[in-house]
Every structure is written in C-alpha cells, then in structure tokens.
Amino acid sequence: MKQYIRPFILCLAGLVLFVAGCSETEKASRNTNGNEKDELETVHLALSPFQDVYSIHVGVEKGFFEEEGIELKIQETDWAGGNDLLVGGKVELATAGDSDIVLQNSNGVDTTLAYPIFYFAGAALMFDPNKYDWKTYDEFLEENNDDKEAMRLTLEQAKGKKVGLNTSVSEYTSFISMLNYAGLDSKDYEIVDMSQEDLPPALLSGSIDIMISGIPQRLAVKKEGYEELIDQTTLPYTISHNGFAARREWLEENPELSTKLLKAIFKTLHYIEENPDDSFPIIVEHMKKVGTEISEEQLESVWNQMEFFPSGIEFYKNEVLNPDGSFYWQDRFQAVVDIMEDEGKIEKERIEDLESLHYTIKLVEEIE
C-alpha cells in the first residue's frame, strides 16, 4: 500500500505548487497590466448635465480611462454644486470654467483648470421676436459693415431690459465684455442672476426679456421660436475655457495620475472627433438619463461649431498655448480677471499668478 501512497503525495504536492504558481503568475500579470478593476486608481468627479462635459462618458465606455489605470466615480450635480464639492474636498475633479477658477482663487482656494474639455462660443442673447421688434447684430452689420458699431446698436436696443444669466459662469463675463467693447454700461441693464436650468422657463413666461445661457437652454428656447440677438463669436476673446478643475495640492501630490487623466481625456476627445456617429449616441443616452433631451443632430450642429474641443496635445499647443491661437489662454484669463475687478466681483490685484489657474500647461510639459 505504501508504494502507492508516496507517489500520490508527491503528485498532490506538485499540483498544489502548480496552482500556486499559476495564481502568482496571474497576480503578477494583473499588476503589470494595471487593468483589473481592483488595481485601478479611483478618481471622484462631480459632473454637471451638459452635453460638452458628458463627452467623458464616451471615454469611460470605450475604456480609455481604464487603459490608463483609472476608474472614474461620477457624482451627478449641477455646475455650482460640483464646484462646492471640489472646494469642500469631497471630490478630486469638478466641472468648472475660467470664471469659477478666478473667483475661487480670489477667495484663497487653490483650484485650477487642469483638464480642458471645451472652449465655449455658444452664449447668445436670446429674445422673443414677436414681443420685441429688434434688429439682430447680423442685420446691423450688413447695413454699416462696422462690427463695433453694429454691436453698439444691437445691445443699445435692450437698455433697461431684464437680462437673465448666471453671474458666476462665463456668460456673465462674455456679456460684460460685449458691453465694454461697444462702449456701453452694464448699469443700464437689469441683470437677473439665475441658475442655468431656470433661465428657459423665465424667458418663456416673460419674467425676463433676454436669456444668456448654455447650449441646451439656448436650443430649447430656439425650438419655441426665440431668436439670437447677438452671440459671443462676434468677440473672440469672450470664448470661455471650460473643463475639469482640481485642487493644485492634489495635482502636485499625484503627478503620475494627473498626467494619465489628461491622456485619457485627449484620447476621448480625439475619438469623438474621428467617430461622431459612434460617440454622439452615447452622450445623448446619458443626457436622457438626467432628463435632458438633445438629439444627435443637435450635437452635430454645435460640436466644433459653437463649442470647440481639444483633440490632443498638438491642438492644445497650436490653439491654446500659442499667442496667435484661437483660444490663447492668457488673453482669456486676464480678461476674466480684469472684468471681475472692474465689476467689483473680486479685489484688485488679488490674482497675481495667472499660470497657476491653468495647470494644463504643466501637465502637457510632463507628457512631452
């Protein structure tokens, strides 16, 4: 009997060693690839329901973040609520714009626009043509061929009217820039501070005369017969910079993770540009889940038309870092600071280091 027991024991021991070896090999493989769920680094993102930042869902579904070893934990919230979560240390990233960053830093909070998602040129003054017999900017421009005079005549028609907008986002600074350029005074307009979501009902009910908002709200009232009086493409430096903000301290403590995030975002935006037919349905579906109806056709009409998306490092270097680029970062951030100082939103000379507000510059250097 013993002659059979010894070979059996040796065989069993060999099997145990083989299984253990396979387990270690599999574990090592997971560590090398970094693609297993339990090996991913978690980043919490406060995300607002807008079609531009919802582009992030394409990157998640296509696995671009997982490829970089990242799992995004998304918390749905409105724009202001997301900024509150970031400032309060509840999330690592939040949807934000240049105006948010300037305001927060003026109050001593070290936020920075680290991850560019879109450059917003979609703000327009929407009005009811059946209520007001106003001429549009395009009509005035056709008559006199002078852009500054056309802007002055257009905006002068609305003096004394109620202009609904969110004063904490870029539409406010865009409106003020138009008035300044045209030589008009913001005190001649009744600016009503409202959330983006409340603007269309207010305009439709007649409680405000003009609405300046994000693109979903603009498209919603346009479907009801409202028209654009003027939009911000008439003044290029009003085009705002938007994306995901982070705390500088967190970025500096997580340099490798920070650059991987930027790589995943650039991959996502490049994929959308190259594959809109595959990407837009993903955005539309996720927008529906939060109660916002937008069609693939509407996305096509605004993508790189009213909003422009950085599809990679070359785009960023040519259009954002380059002083001659369409979205030169320093011109825009300085304009926001100047307007907020002039309007009494922030103290004079409170913002001293513009580059600290736009951390993408450092991340791009690290990637290269």
Q: Which amino acid is at 26?
A: E
pLDDT at 358: 97
Cβ 102 vs Cβ 175: under 8 Å: no
Provide the whole-model pTM.
Answer: 0.78
Q: Is residue 176 part of a domain?
A: yes
222 and 245 belong to one structural domain = no
**Residue 325, exposed/middle/buried by CB under 10 A (0-12, 13-18, 19+)?**
middle
**Domain harbouring 334, CATH code:** 3.40.190.10
Tell me the residue range of the domain where 175 lies.
124-238
As given in the structure block, the two tokens for residue 185 are 């005074």
pLDDT at 292: 86
pLDDT at 38: 59
Average confidence score pLDDT of the chain? 90
232 and 254 belong to one structural domain = no
Cβ 85 vs Cβ 100: under 8 Å: no
222 and 147 belong to one structural domain = yes
234 and 245 belong to one structural domain = no
**Residue 147, exposed/middle/buried by CB under 10 A (0-12, 13-18, 19+)?**
middle
Q: What percent of the chain has pLDDT over 90?
A: 79
How far apart CA 98 and CA 111 sit, in angstroms, is 10
As given in the structure block, the two tokens for residue 14 are 């060999």
Q: What percent of the chain has pLDDT over 70?
A: 90
CB atoms within 10 A of CB 268: 24
pLDDT at 37: 52
Low-confidence residues of the chain: pLDDT under 50: 1-36
363 and 248 belong to one structural domain = yes
Q: Is residue 24 part of a domain?
A: no
Q: Is residue 33 part of a domain?
A: no
221 and 248 belong to one structural domain = no
pLDDT digits (tens, 9 = 90+) for 265-321: 999 999 999 999 999 999 999 999 998 888 999 999 999 998 999 999 999 999 999
134 and 228 belong to one structural domain = yes
155 and 176 belong to one structural domain = yes
